Structure 1
Amino acid sequence: MLHISELPDVRAARNPTGLCIADDHQRLNNQDFLARVRNAAAVLCARGIGAGDVVAVILPNRLDLVVIMFAAWRLGAAVTPVNPGLTDAEARHQVEDCAAKVVITDDGARVVGTLDVAAVTDAPLAAEDPAVGAVASDSLALIIYTSGTTGRPKGVMLDHANVAAMCRMIIDGIGLDETDHSLLVLPLFHVNGIVVSVLSPLLAGGRATVAGRFSTSTFFDLVEFVRPTYFSAVPAIYAMLVALPDEIRPDTSSLRRVICGAAPMPAELIARFENRFGVPIVEGYGLSEGTCASTLNPPGGPRKPGTVGLPLPGQTVAVMDGEGNLLDDGSAGEVVVRGPNVMRGYLGLPDETARTVVDGWLHTGDVGRFDADGYLVLVDRIKDMIIRGGENIYPKEIENVLHTHPAVLEAAVVGASDPVLGEVPVAHVVPLPGAAVAADELIEHCRGSLARIKVPVTVFVTDALPRNPVGKIDKRRLRS
């Protein structure tokens, strides 16, 4: 099977002038892409980068990041993409934690060992190819840092075998081929952006366009100009697109399907997007520790909104109780994953790794159940569960009810401390543009569908919800 580090060479040999990758400022065909990768590898090699080293990249979304990634892999090195929005102290933690030998950025000397991106990607033509030859499949490819919802971000170690297996599952699961063209709108410091929107289409023989910062007002202009066959996004982006003024009716005819991940998407939001823009949403589920995705609603159908689909072929997804017993009766438990996509572990954290991967099973921290057709239904995050007077309440159940109100665009429910009951549910709601809704009306709406203990004690109607760098709703900030 093709090793991903060889991809630039293989594409250039097959179709030198075929389009490969573009961004807001430049377009590269396959032979241009290979030349840029070789030149960047020569610069890194001259800086002493070799097999087993780590290259840190602090860049916004641009194709240079992809060039550097392949250049590092060519030398047998791993890459850790750093969110450019981090503070200097946060960026320094990541760089030092993974012992990066060089840091490539366009933002000056934020941390020690910085190399300006122009010195790497605009280097003169390399006389010799610095490729190390065969890169072992068990060598590290990526160190992806989690968004840190449970404390200090941890480095998820993904080797080349993890990445190759995941790309194959994505290509087969979505049905990608050489005619596909992805539009990357998610950040390239996240594994979804790297795997779903760049590596998978390139491996399938297609191409990718890297969009800069996402803008609701210009996004569909970009779709009409670039004419991609798909993009991958988070529910927040779909909510923003649905909230556009009614008179905006873009040409979406190039899109065969769009993908949603990172957080469960309410069925009502899926319906609003599909009805308005005429493009099917394929919802999936996964996490960085599983190299991106573990389930997917099959694009060929049946797609079941309200679920995150079927396990991807090649991995096993199951539900487990607190004693480690697998549940096959449709009851809820912790979602666990096993397969070649499961991470090597957390960098430098053997105890944390041992708690997370047990007997080959990746423990996700999510509660879920399988419906009668084998589709996974996510109930909630274990840590988001609210315990009210000894009763377990899952916020997602309340959020789903709030989403059925015609005026609601987004909803998030968290636990608030209570001196008698321990915790009580509190809701934060963003209404649709132009819609007015009162807190009392939403509480009454919940009473029609939920047991009394699940009805929010308070509803805050707000203009926006706080988000983490990947675009998920930041419930830790809501709780505080």
Structure 2
Amino acid sequence: MVNVAGPMWDNALARPDAIALRAGGEGWTYGRLRDAVAAFGGALRDAGVASGDRVLLVAPSVPEFVVAYYGAHLRGAIVITMNTMATASEIGYVLDDSAASLVVAWHEAADATEKATTERGLPFRTLEPGAAMGTSEPMIEPVELDPNDIAILLYTSGTTGKPKGVQLTVGNLQATSATVVDYLSFTAEDRLGTALPLFHVFGQSVVMNTALHAGASLSLLSPFDPRGMLEMLRADQLTMLAGVPTMWNAMLHAAGDFGPEDCASLRSACSGGASLPAEVIRAFRARFGCEILEGYGLTESSGVATYNPMGREPRIGSVGLPLPGMAVEVRDAAGQPLTGDEIGELYVSGPNVMKGYWNRPEATASDLRDGWLKTGDLGRVDADGYVYIVDRAKDMIIRGGYNVYPREVEEVLYEHPDIVEAAVIGVPHEHYGEEVAAVITPAAGVTLDPEELRAWAKQQLSAYKVPHLFAFVDQLPKGATGKILKRAIDWDSLTGRA
């Protein structure tokens, strides 16, 4: 059955009493999940949503997200998922760009979404606990789609700073979940768990879809709490746990009597979203007797491209080998393949790679070249095929697993009447991996207050994008053409002024 909801649907028909989801001490069987998804799909049908229409979903990592997500897919809609911290302005941009026809938002995260939706006169549905959507006749089966049909749009910023909709197809998502299931030997007896946001490609494509493709159970924690994550691991006897570096580091330092016995059932701890410090991997192993394995992927590759193989001595610092069906090349600035252990830009290809950017043919042509995805990341591949990420070619900041694009933040800062110039950079941070820092040249005679700037920026940006560190300078370093040279900014020398 060619539909993102197909594997979940088939598992529900085969094993309706098996547990599909766990959250907050409650379990959802596959049968209950299927019934809720069918009812949700029916409600969307009755609301006029047709196959190929765009439906925006704003919700945290709760079972109701899963219901709404698969309910929309059941109907054949294209699902757009967004951060629950998104502002009305950010949501409005996505609604306009995607021409979404209906919006669904979790009841505790509905204010900004409803504001943006009301301004545009679009239908709005509040997602309540239990995901009840009225008395619509439920759908009886998923809409049959083509593997090349677009399944989801995930908005991510590029070098222009304007978010672009990454088009991932039904085939992309099904290939990803099937590959991960086979590569990690997942079965219906596995118990996966995460506190990752399901609106993000890692939690959504690599974890949620994989678990329900395999017929396994998925334990959800929202919001993330290190003790809560460890308690979930212990109580649900998880066999796979997925997180980002800040989560592993927080669990490492969590108080309590947690130890190796809590990880006895765990056979895979998967880390992605950013590089994980080697010391955290070693310390985690020492405290919990558990090996964290790193992988690598982008939104444009459905969240995954490489992973460290299980059953082998892990290579700390490497993001592993290309997954079956995937290929990784290192190329020079001219796009020519490099040999040996040379450093260059990583290109990936395979069934996971996106169809392109929504209504962005030039950006698509720039990043997709003869089936190869230009990642914008610098790396190398050793003689055994293991991939190492060396640096990011772009200036993207990864704060606590969330991508922050400096130019997007800079464009907001430039709107402030008392800011002449601004450069946003990432500064190493013990907990978040990187913190968002802004180096600013104020208008003549003006003294800017960091707290006031934060409050001002927070009105226009999601909280994780707001600069938390500030430095004020007479002028920013520039090259011969007048371009601001971020690499010439020495944050340590500026901290006395921050």
Give the distance between the partners of 1:429 and 1:120, measured in 2 at CA: 39
1:50 corresponds in structure 2 to: 50
1:206 corresponds in structure 2 to: 216
- Residue 340 of structure 1 aligns to a residue in which SS? coil
Give the distance between the partners of 1:473 and 1:182, measured in 2 at CA: 32
Q: Confirm whether residue 63 of structure 1 aligns to residue 73 of structure 2.
A: no
CA apart distance, 1:32: 1.0
Alignment CA distance shift 1:115-1:25 (3 Å): farther
1:91 corresponds in structure 2 to: 91
Mapping of residues 136-215 of structure 1, within 5 Å: 136-146=146-156, 151-215=161-225
2:353 corresponds in structure 1 to: 342
1:18 corresponds in structure 2 to: 18
Stretches of structure 2 that go unaligned for 5 or more consecutive residues are: 118-122, 399-405, 407-422, 433-460, 472-485, 492-498
Alpha carbons 1:102, 1:114 under 8 Å: kept: yes
1:331 corresponds in structure 2 to: 342
Give the distance between the partners of 1:328 and 1:64, measured in 2 at CA: 48
- The residue type equivalent to 1:7 in the other structure is P
1:457 corresponds in structure 2 to: none
- Residue 394 of structure 2 aligns to a residue in which SS? helix
Alpha carbons 1:5, 1:135 under 8 Å: kept: no
CA apart distance, 1:477: 8.2
Mapping of residues 190-269 of structure 1, within 5 Å: 190-245=200-255, 248-249=258-259, 251-269=262-280
- Residue 314 of structure 2 aligns to a residue in which SS? coil
Mapping of residues 387-402 of structure 1, within 5 Å: none
CA apart distance, 1:166: 1.0
Which has the larger displacement, 220-229 or 142-151?
142-151
2:9 corresponds in structure 1 to: 9
CA apart distance, 1:174: 2.1
CA apart distance, 1:303: 1.6
CA apart distance, 1:12: 2.2
TM-score for both structures, normalised by structure 2: 0.76
TM-score for both structures, normalised by structure 1: 0.78
Alignment CA distance shift 1:193-1:428 (3 Å): closer
| Cα deviation digits, residues 230-256 of structure 1 (max 9, x gap) | 121111111212223486547222221
Give the distance between the partners of 1:99 and 1:120, measured in 2 at CA: 28
Alignment CA distance shift 1:11-1:474 (3 Å): farther
Alignment CA distance shift 1:234-1:9 (3 Å): closer
CA apart distance, 1:185: 0.9
Give the distance between the partners of 1:204 and 1:297, measured in 2 at CA: 20
1:73 corresponds in structure 2 to: 73
Q: Confirm whether residue 134 of structure 1 aligns to residue 134 of structure 2.
A: no
Give the distance between the partners of 1:77 and 1:191, measured in 2 at CA: 18
CA-atom RMSD, angstroms?
Answer: 3.1
CA apart distance, 1:93: 1.3
- The residue type equivalent to 1:258 in the other structure is A
1:291 corresponds in structure 2 to: 302
CA apart distance, 1:47: 0.6
1:441 corresponds in structure 2 to: none
Give the distance between the partners of 1:470 and 1:79, measured in 2 at CA: 24
Alignment CA distance shift 1:224-1:426 (3 Å): closer
Give the distance between the partners of 1:168 and 1:472, measured in 2 at CA: 34
- The residue type equivalent to 1:206 in the other structure is A
Give the distance between the partners of 2:364 and 2:469, measured in 1 at CA: 23
- The residue type equivalent to 1:237 in the other structure is M
CA apart distance, 1:326: 0.9
- The residue type equivalent to 1:269 in the other structure is V
Aligned partner of 1:351 among 349, 362, 365? 362
Give the distance between the partners of 2:223 and 2:295, measured in 1 at CA: 23
CA apart distance, 1:377: 1.1
2:384 corresponds in structure 1 to: 373
| Cα deviation digits, residues 369-399 of structure 1 (max 9, x gap) | 11122101111011349xxxxxxxxx99xxx
Give the distance between the partners of 1:470 and 1:291, measured in 2 at CA: 25
CA apart distance, 1:218: 2.7
- The residue type equivalent to 2:211 in the other structure is P
Give the distance between the partners of 1:85 and 1:309, measured in 2 at CA: 32
Give the distance between the partners of 1:257 and 1:209, measured in 2 at CA: 15
2:33 corresponds in structure 1 to: 33
Alpha carbons 1:186, 1:470 under 8 Å: kept: no
Give the distance between the partners of 1:276 and 1:120, measured in 2 at CA: 38
- Residue 144 of structure 1 aligns to a residue in which SS? strand
State the identity %. Answer: 31
1:121 corresponds in structure 2 to: 131
- The residue type equivalent to 1:28 in the other structure is W
Which has the larger displacement, 155-164 or 252-261?
252-261
Alpha carbons 2:196, 2:242 under 8 Å: kept: yes
Which has the larger displacement, 120-129 or 314-323?
120-129
Mapping of residues 295-334 of structure 1, within 5 Å: 295-334=306-345
Mapping of residues 398-477 of structure 1, within 5 Å: 428=428, 430=430
Alignment CA distance shift 1:427-1:25 (3 Å): closer
